[in-house]
Structure 1
């Protein structure tokens, strides 16, 4: 979770991105972009909190939307706050992953309904410590940052105990390659431990677990990994994870529910895990 705190700041009900969108309406985004001499995508990204405007952008936005000077002054103050938040978050990532994992834990603790679609890694709640270590090692190699691997592993593992809280429900859908792909830092022994853990978790009453197999047609290709924590959602990208807008959370929730119709569950899912486990090198 590299940028979502900044995006959350921008897109909350009274956030800067939300205020800019309201000031622009009922003018269409493409009309504002045309008048400003921008690509329409720039307006869309600013309003979605995926791109910070500049102070000059705010001046032009205010001019084109007849925004009063006192409101523009507030926009500038909010932009300064968002810029500082982005610097703070970049520093957090640069200085180590433990803080990133603890930030996730705060989001996780605030809800009781979790829905995941995972296309690459074993979901965080199901990971054994050795698997977590390998995944975070790969992240360090790709993104850089301070090497606080022990603290980061401990922080991520802290959330796994929530599986045994029967007041919380987990709906976790993975694709079959998740069972087979593994970071180079992962040893065969740890991967076998990880697959064994999946077999045990499948029996928990508050867990709905399914696997989308490779040898059956699917109604949609599961292109992105998605994590939904109640009404908060994130979609994974190569170098970051983007926080979803409210309507996107609903869209992904519906899409994931449809994909469950193509999933193996219960004994069929268990048999697929056993097949992979039996073929795994010792």
Structure 2
């Protein structure tokens, strides 16, 4: 999704509401009259120029006999303006603040599902690996240099792995294991740590082998699912938040497909060990 995502999402919502209106047999003018709106309001919503309020959507659904779609439409509209946040905006005051902002989400989540096609999942990273990752981000996005503080926040966050009451299912593409972040020592230490974390009772670690047939489970952008409430997607330029139930189900399906072609247990450890040997 590009920087035009918000406008695209507004237009998609408007198109969906237009279809609901047409299916009901109402003209835009008739719907506006029933709702007590200026006749141009329906047009502005349907063309993506205006994001409807919760009340607008409930009125629209009621008059168009689409009450069963109300909550899904409301969730979609609420998510639009907050769904796409540029990394530069999130990190303009430094990386520490961006790390701290995520803490409440991690504390209240019970079931984490993570897919990584870029790097080792953040909760499973060593301090040295995280330092290398954040230094790259700092140079790329020209953020203030508060790497040590940001790393400390990230390491503190990992206490959730052993705090009880949380489950972690992680899927990692095998090529991530062979992508040297930092230097060889950093990477070998990270892979050894990944084996250790993968053995925790609360953790399910799957590795997607290179060369596995991809009938389904096509490689996609990295994402994390927080219970069934929210998905955070990592894009090159921005952070995408998904809360719309229909899109959440798409990520659930994708995660399940990727999980089906992953290997676990001793097979996963073997792939990690092979990566360690290749780096050494």
Give the corresponding residue for 1:131.
Answer: 129
Give the corresponding residue for 1:262.
Answer: 261
Q: 3-state SS of the aligned residue for 2:180?
A: coil
Q: 1:165 aligns with which of 163, 166, 169?
A: 163
Q: 3-state SS of the aligned residue for 1:233?
A: strand
Deviations 1:139-163 (A, max 9, x none): 1111122111111111111111211
Q: CA RMSD in A?
A: 3.5
* 8 Å Cα contact 1:98-1:148 kept in structure 2: yes
Alignment of 1:34-113 (within 5 A): 43=48, 93-113=91-111
Is 1:240 aligned with 2:238? Answer: yes
Give me the TM-score of the superposition, normalised by structure 2: 0.70
* 8 Å Cα contact 1:114-1:228 kept in structure 2: yes
Unaligned runs of 5+ in 2: 23-27, 29-39, 61-80
Give the corresponding residue for 1:221.
Answer: 218
Unaligned runs of 5+ in 1: 12-16, 49-60, 66-81
* 8 Å Cα contact 2:217-2:261 kept in structure 1: no
* 8 Å Cα contact 1:105-1:156 kept in structure 2: no
* 8 Å Cα contact 1:95-1:146 kept in structure 2: yes
Q: How many angstroms apart in 1 are the aligned matches of 2:173 and 2:217?
A: 12
Deviations 1:177-203 (A, max 9, x none): 1101133xx121111110001111121
Deviations 1:96-155 (A, max 9, x none): 010100111121111111000100110011000000001111111111221111111111
Q: How many angstroms apart in 1 are the aligned matches of 2:135 and 2:21?
A: 47
Q: How many angstroms apart in 2 are the aligned matches of 1:234 and 1:131?
A: 21
Aligned residues between the structures:
223
Q: 3-state SS of the aligned residue for 1:159?
A: helix
Question: How far is 1:47 from its partner?
Answer: 5.2
Q: How many angstroms apart in 2 are the aligned matches of 1:105 and 1:269?
A: 29
Alignment of 1:139-218 (within 5 A): 139-183=137-181, 186-218=182-214
Q: How many angstroms apart in 2 are the aligned matches of 1:181 and 1:91?
A: 28
CA distance 1:194–1:47, shift in 2 (3 Å): farther
* 8 Å Cα contact 1:125-1:160 kept in structure 2: yes
CA distance 1:152–1:261, shift in 2 (3 Å): same
Q: How many angstroms apart in 2 are the aligned matches of 1:117 and 1:194?
A: 17
Q: 3-state SS of the aligned residue for 1:142?
A: helix
CA distance 1:208–1:92, shift in 2 (3 Å): closer
Give me the TM-score of the superposition, normalised by structure 1: 0.69
Question: How far is 1:91 from its partner?
Answer: 5.8
CA distance 1:138–1:258, shift in 2 (3 Å): same
* 8 Å Cα contact 1:174-1:212 kept in structure 2: yes
Alignment of 1:10-25 (within 5 A): none
CA distance 1:96–1:210, shift in 2 (3 Å): same
